[in-house]
Structure 1
Amino acid sequence: MTDASSRALRAAIIGTGAIAHAHAEAIAGLAPRIDLVAVVDVDADRAAQFAERFGAEAVYTDAAELFASEQLDLVHVCTPPLTHVPLAIQALRAGVPALIEKPTALSLAEMDRLVAVSHETGVPALTVFQHRFGAAALRLAALVREGVLGRPLVATCETLWHRTPDYFDLPWRGRWAIEGGGPTMGHGIHQFDLLLAVLGPWRRLSAFAARQALPTDTEDVSMAVVEFEGGALATVVNSIVSPRETSRLRFDFEHATVEVEHLYGYTDADWTFTAAPGHEALAEAWAQQPSDEISSHLSQLAQIVSALEAGTDPGVGADEARRTLEFAAATYASAFRGRPVEAGEITDDDPFHSSMDGGAVPWSPVKEAQ
């Protein structure tokens, strides 16, 4: 990583599929502070077309060649989940911070390797959790830190999306060994990451998961009831079988209710603030510095660029992302074992540490044949 204090940052994208376009557009939206200088894809033609569209000069088909040839300040890992950690580790060992699409890793074991390399090299491994960086979420986090909303009491977190069977035509989707899980890992993780960012550490959870309708090895719906260290109770629902799609979070504090309902990104207009009787003045604090910007890759990348320019730590780092991934692992462990799971319970010798399915999926082919 080179000095970024007085020049445009140099970025590369590995993987030029659908989500890479959001990354490239975010980079373009922050010009001239950051430039897309190179892209990597195993499909050379696709990489060349992507590079031409977004103005990248260099095209590679191999990440190792990228790191050997380019001086970079940031690399965006936009490949299928199976390759996230190996590519991110290559980047860190080359001294390049990595911004990794969710899920960061396929398992806690894999995540722990990434955390260890980030600590060893001192290079950030970051995860795309863009909903933390929308204006309203940042405002909510500040009010929570200040304590003016009172204790958090109750919360609901819902990712109710819809996917048709042809969504799983891509060979890496819906496979435990390649994608890591279903909507708990690949869809709802954005919403419950924001839930965890607001409410802090969780203590224990009880969960269910099912394969209701879709041709997938993984679940297509999961539900959890969660107790947080601060005493709040929350429900978390992750679904891809819900025809009326919505993403919803509600936080009930002692002095106010704060809600957001959107689909893939929110603006201030999607949030509602309701003060409890006697605390109406809080509405004025909530209404300060309104924004019409959408929570997006751009909002998170802007924070990262500012941090890299200033030499400070960007978010969301590997340690924080691990806590979110542990929540997903605990959801699966509780659902498939039929009992509550406590934070920190899934240790190195636990099957759910090495894979999200833990070898215990009730509808697995082996179990269905019995």
Structure 2
Amino acid sequence: MTTVPDPAEPLRVVVVGAGAIAEGGHLPALRDAGDTEVVAIVDVDADRARGLAERWGVPASGTDLAAVLREQRPHLVCVCTPPGAHRDAVTAALDAGAWVWCEKPPALSLAEYDEMAAHEREGGPYVSYVFQQRSGSASHALRRQIALGELGRPLVAVCHTLWFRDEEYYAVPWRGRWDTEGGGPSMGHGIHQMDLMLWLLGDWSEVSAATGTLDRDVETEDVSMAVVRFESGAMASVVNSVLSPRQESYLRFDFSDATVEVSHLYGHGNDDWTWTPAPHVPAGRTADWRPAGDEPSSHTAALRDVLDSLRKGVRPPGSGHDGRRSLELVAGLYQSAAQGRPVRRAELVAGNPFYAAMHGGRA
């Protein structure tokens, strides 16, 4: 296991990937954390790494991750690369003894996910994945209410990621390809809302799905639709699209005693959520349903949990089984769409072609 850092010292961090998500998500979150020190930026483009380091006052930059890991000995590595580069960066960091916080989607396949997990060690280092939509006061309040049974049994859910991405977006060479992105909107866009749904409702058991490539010039789908059954017995309707001009991220959860909804785009606060009691619920019972705090979902809130786990030497949220669950659902969705039949979660094991690759060998 790794040595738990001295609480009096800042955590040394290396950021891998100098693109938009590093500058817009990870670096602001690391700045806001207060007990971190970004010591280097790594990117395949030396000028881009150097430029980002200069803008953020980071003392070092480079293109050779192995060399930077040896020189800087970071406690944490933030992986902000395209999906096809996740595996090599994650395994290199774990093997160097650094914890990892990696952008979504976690990997190109379940096989890759399990390969990366095999480089973890008991007590750390661990790799966790950036599912920031599950952060924030409202989602945590709802999770507590579900755990305590305050809203009754979960019955029906709706999980829609209706976004718009034009042809210019897909001009980036790695997008829309199975070998570099791993899938379409089910993999790279809707996975955030699906993760939030799974984090709240628990493990899924079966999925029936259809996919289409209706309007974008891509290898992957540009829309998918699925019906998901949960181990609890609840059912969900899931739609992922990059063809929707009026964009919305929408989740609805119908319990026996209430409906809870959130409508937003890329992040939510308390005002985006509503709790509606069933007609039989007395008014006094709903007084404590609204969240007490008002922290929005964000990289900053999600990172705090990762850093806390690192300091304690315990497995962080969004890792292990908790990080794998949404990737399993995507793999099951693609298998169901390809084979025209329901797919059970238990099928997604070594030997299944959709375990090895999200396209199941079709590409």
Q: Give the alignment's TM-score, normalised by structure 2.
A: 0.96
Match of 1:283 in 2: 286
Distance 2:327 2:291 in 1: 33
Match of 1:171 in 2: 173
Distance 2:184 2:256 in 1: 34
Match of 1:27, as an amino acid? L
Match of 2:196 in 1: 194
Distance 2:162 2:192 in 1: 12
1:156 aligns with 2:192: no
Structure 1 gap segments, 5+ residues each: 365-370
Listed as ranges, the matches of 1:234-313 within 5 Å are: 234-279=236-281, 280-291=283-294, 293-313=295-315
Query: Per-residue displacement from partner, 1:319-340 (whole Å, max 9, x unpaired)?
Result: 2221211100000000011000
Match of 2:322 in 1: 320
SS of match in other structure, 1:92: helix
Listed as ranges, the matches of 1:3-82 within 5 Å are: 3-21=5-23, 22-31=25-34, 33-82=35-84
SS of match in other structure, 1:273: strand
**Equivalent residues of 1:34, 1:305 under 8 A apart:** no
Q: Give the alignment's TM-score, normalised by structure 1.
A: 0.94
Task: Report the alpha carbon displacement of residue 309 of structure 1 after superposing the two structures with TM.
Answer: 2.8
Distance 1:180 1:282 in 2: 45
Distance 1:120 1:179 in 2: 30
Match of 1:49, as an amino acid? G
Equivalent pairs, count: 359
Query: Per-residue displacement from partner, 1:179-221 (whole Å, max 9, x unpaired)?
Result: 0000011000000001011111111110000001001110000
SS of match in other structure, 1:281: helix
CA gap of 1:327–1:284, structure 2 versus 1, over 3 A, is same
Task: Report the alpha carbon displacement of residue 311 of structure 1 after superposing the two structures with TM.
Answer: 3.5
Structure 2 gap segments, 5+ residues each: none
Match of 1:367 in 2: none
Q: Which of 179, 182, 185 does residue 183 from structure 1 map onto?
A: 185
Task: Report the alpha carbon displacement of residue 120 of structure 1 after superposing the two structures with TM.
Answer: 6.7
**Equivalent residues of 1:351, 1:358 under 8 A apart:** yes
Residues 295-304 or 310-319, more deviating: 310-319
**Equivalent residues of 2:124, 2:315 under 8 A apart:** no
**Equivalent residues of 1:5, 1:310 under 8 A apart:** no
Residues 114-123 or 84-93, more deviating: 114-123
Runs of 4+ deviating beyond 4 Å: none
**What fraction of aligned residue pairs are identical, expressed as a percent?**
47
Task: Report the alpha carbon displacement of residue 28 of structure 1 after superposing the two structures with TM.
Answer: 1.1
SS of match in other structure, 1:261: strand
Residues 157-166 or 130-139, more deviating: 130-139
**Equivalent residues of 2:79, 2:86 under 8 A apart:** yes
SS of match in other structure, 1:356: coil
Distance 1:315 1:206 in 2: 28
Task: Report the alpha carbon displacement of residue 54 of structure 1 after superposing the two structures with TM.
Answer: 1.4
Match of 2:356 in 1: 354
SS of match in other structure, 1:274: strand
SS of match in other structure, 2:52: helix
Tell me how large the CA RMSD over aligned residues is: 1.4
CA gap of 1:167–1:69, structure 2 versus 1, over 3 A, is same
1:85 aligns with 2:98: no
